[in-house]
Chains A and B, each alone.
Chain A
Amino acid sequence: MASPTLLFTSTFIFTLFTTLLVTASLRLLALFRTRGPRKSGKKGDPLHLLIVLGSGGHTQEMLYFLEDLRTYKYTYRTYVVSSGDAFSAERAKNFEEELERREKEKGWPQYQGNDSVNIETVERENGWPLVSYTGPSKYTICTVPRARKIHQPLLTTPFSALQCLLGCFPTLLGTGNSSSKQPPQDKLSPPPNDIPDAILINGPATAVIFILASYILRFFNIRNSQTRRKMATIYIESFARVSTLSLSGRFLEPFVDRFLVQWPQLAGGRREYRGDLIRGFGGGEHISVI
């Protein structure tokens, strides 16, 4: 006969703990084994990018990296800036305006809901309808608490990091959109309050916290994020890193889905060198290719 105090015996607690540990390890292993291209969408699906803007040079490199983005594939963008970084927010806004201007120049009609463009008759490129998904309803800029300020003592870093982590969840779940404007809901735009398909990061600390947050959401398969293969993580090491990885880079290498470096001497293992990532600059020997 089981005694009513069974729940409180040390054996029970030990069993419970072991079971949880095993389950958690298996789950983590599963997450780990799915690293790599996640392919959450098929051709023509609207895709949502979440772009973490580190600050200063990080922000600039990220936006240079993204400058040729075609919005008909990546139809909704969320930019994340750290609190107190007014520069990055301004840069993101300018970047979106530039995207809009450039696509307008190409003559792509701007998509503003179901009736604005007839997708069936519009011109196509490799099968994609040439439509511009730009304008204030196609992106949002979110602010999260800074994970670690410059010169912040190490002792208090865990607290600010935790604060940052808590700020990441609403951003990833799309419930923390800073703009109150809700974009039109239609089948060609991903719902902006859905989990992003990809997270782009290039450091520093806040980016690390974002990866952690994405792992936690996928661990519990929140909103089917794992089943739907959401939140592919792409890390781009700074071009300032010639022969050694940055601290964030070293830490994140095993965890992200793609890890890109900009100098050939850093390539190897999970680190991919794909030639120039930023137009007009290459880390390797300078060879002209026409």
Chain B
Amino acid sequence: MSTSNVDQEGSKVCYVTTGATAAFPALIKAVLTPESVRELTTQGYTHLIIQYGDSRGKTVYYEEYQRLQIALDQEVQSQEKGLAIHGFDFKKGGLSEEFQIARETDGLIISHAGSGSILEALRADAAIIVVPNEQLLDNHQEELAKMLARQNYLIHGHLESLHLDIRRSVEFKEKKGSFPPITSGKQRVTAGAEAVLDSTLIRE
């Protein structure tokens, strides 16, 4: 399924990514609750695009999608506002284009706490809610999300109250605006690979 050809004019896109390594069905469920979807439509989102991962993620996605349809059928209002929901499994080359679109449409990224997705979102300068997977034994994801949230890089989200985190994203975007963006030239000095490699390998 094509994901990056969203017509940006008048769009507001929310991307959800569950990562490439481990399935995270709980995040899909949390996103496809009536509360979360209602919050997104209230904020004027037009697209909700979900990277659900493997077959397990796909099953959960379709189940939750149908459940959501039934739940929302009783609410004519939210249907009229028209939030288009799409799902896809993976994208080989990564989601940097999608994250760019999220930033350009004043959108949002809701992500698992994998370092790859977090870095990609930070570098796209997009607003991101990071939801750690509590089922993973190692709690370092939780710690990372907390540390980065404390420094205003991102929102530390929770499965059981995701709609509130989505609400908070409006305020977060304003705060984030005062942050030196990556492209402002005010960035910190980056050591990068070359300094490390040169000092390890090259005799002067």
Determine whether A68 belongs to the interface, using a CB cutoff of 8 Å to chain B: yes
User: Given A232-B200, A244-B140, A91 and B93 touching (CB < 8 A)?
Assistant: yes
List the B side residues contacting A282 at CB < 8 Å. Answer: 188
Q: At the interface with chain B, which of A4-12, A165-173, A207-215, A272-280? A: A272-280
List the A side residues contacting B141 at CB < 8 Å. Answer: 240
User: Given A56-B21, A91-B93, A242 and B200 touching (CB < 8 A)?
Assistant: no
Taken residue by residue from 248 to 290, chain A's Cβ proximity to chain B (1 for < 8 Å, 0 otherwise) reads as: 0000000001101001000000000011111111110111111
Taken residue by residue from 204 to 242, chain A's Cβ proximity to chain B (1 for < 8 Å, 0 otherwise) reads as: 000000000000000000000000000010100011111
Q: Are B182 and A280 in contact (CB under 8 A)?
A: yes
List the A side residues contacting B1 at CB < 8 Å. Answer: none
List the B side residues contacting A286 at CB < 8 Å. Answer: 151-152, 179-180, 188
Determine whether B76 belongs to the interface, using a CB cutoff of 8 Å to chain A: no
Determine whether B123 belongs to the interface, using a CB cutoff of 8 Å to chain A: yes
List the A side residues contacting B94 at CB < 8 Å. Answer: 60, 91
Q: Which among A70, A197, A275 is the interface contact of B191 at CB below 8 angstroms? A: A275
Q: Which among B119, B144, B187, B202 is the interface contact of A64 at CB below 8 angstroms? A: B119
How many residue pairs between the two chains, A and B, have CB atoms under 8 Å in the bound complex?
162
List the A side residues contacting B116 at CB < 8 Å. Answer: 56-61
Taken residue by residue from 172 to 183, chain B's Cβ proximity to chain A (1 for < 8 Å, 0 otherwise) reads as: 000000011010
User: Given A41-B202, A56-B114, A274-B191, A242 and B147 touching (CB < 8 A)?
Assistant: yes
Q: Are A61 and B93 in contact (CB under 8 A)?
A: no
Determine how close the nearest CB of chain A comes to the CB of B152; give it in whole angstroms: 8
Determine how close the nearest CB of chain B comes to the CB of A174; give it in whole angstroms: 17
Q: Which among A61, A68, A87, A290 is the interface contact of B192 at CB below 8 angstroms? A: A68
List the B side residues contacting A246 at CB < 8 Å. Answer: 140
Determine whether A99 belongs to the interface, using a CB cutoff of 8 Å to chain B: no
List the B side residues contacting A181 at CB < 8 Å. Answer: none
Q: How far is the CA of A70 from the CA of B22 in the complex (A)?
A: 34
Q: Are A43 and B144 in contact (CB under 8 A)?
A: no
Q: Are B192 and A73 in contact (CB under 8 A)?
A: no
Q: How far is the CA of A100 from the CA of B141 in the complex (A)?
A: 35
Interface of A is mostly: loop
Q: How far is the CA of A287 from the CA of B140 in the complex (A)?
A: 24
Q: Are B201 and A43 in contact (CB under 8 A)?
A: no
Q: Which among B93, B180, B193, B203 is the interface contact of A90 at CB below 8 angstroms? A: B93
Q: Are A290 and B119 in contact (CB under 8 A)?
A: no
Q: At the interface with chain B, which of A17-25, A32-40, A112-120, A140-148? A: A32-40
List the B side residues contacting A239 at CB < 8 Å. Answer: 115, 119, 144
Determine how close the nearest CB of chain A comes to the CB of B155; give it in whole angstroms: 16
Q: Are A279 and B144 in contact (CB under 8 A)?
A: no
Determine whether B160 belongs to the interface, using a CB cutoff of 8 Å to chain A: no
Q: Are B119 and A150 in contact (CB under 8 A)?
A: no
Q: Which among B182, B200, B203 is the interface contact of A258 at CB below 8 angstroms? A: B200
User: Given A57-B116, A275-B188, A290-B186, A65 and B193 touching (CB < 8 A)?
Assistant: yes
Determine whether A243 belongs to the interface, using a CB cutoff of 8 Å to chain B: yes
Determine whether A49 belongs to the interface, using a CB cutoff of 8 Å to chain B: yes
Q: Are B188 and A276 in contact (CB under 8 A)?
A: yes
Determine whether B194 belongs to the interface, using a CB cutoff of 8 Å to chain A: yes
Q: How far is the CA of A290 from the CA of B180 in the complex (A)?
A: 11
Q: How far is the CA of A91 from the CA of B96 in the complex (A)?
A: 12
Q: Which among A41, A263, A275 is the interface contact of B203 at CB below 8 angstroms? A: A41
User: Given A55-B21, A59-B116, A234-B196, A280 and B187 touching (CB < 8 A)?
Assistant: yes
Determine how close the nearest CB of chain A comes to the CB of B145; give it in whole angstroms: 10
Determine whether A108 belongs to the interface, using a CB cutoff of 8 Å to chain B: no
Determine whether B198 belongs to the interface, using a CB cutoff of 8 Å to chain A: yes
List the B side residues contacting A238 at CB < 8 Å. Answer: 115
Q: Are B117 and A57 in contact (CB under 8 A)?
A: yes
Q: Which among B20, B93, B114, B192 is the interface contact of A65 at CB below 8 angstroms? A: B192
Q: Can you sample 21 A-B contacts with CB below 8 Å?
A: A38-B201, A39-B203, A42-B203, A43-B202, A55-B20, A60-B119, A69-B194, A198-B197, A198-B200, A239-B115, A239-B119, A240-B141, A241-B140, A243-B143, A274-B191, A276-B190, A277-B190, A279-B192, A281-B119, A281-B153, A290-B186
Top 6 nearest A-B pairs (CB, nearest first) are A57-B116, A60-B116, A57-B115, A280-B182, A240-B115, A288-B186
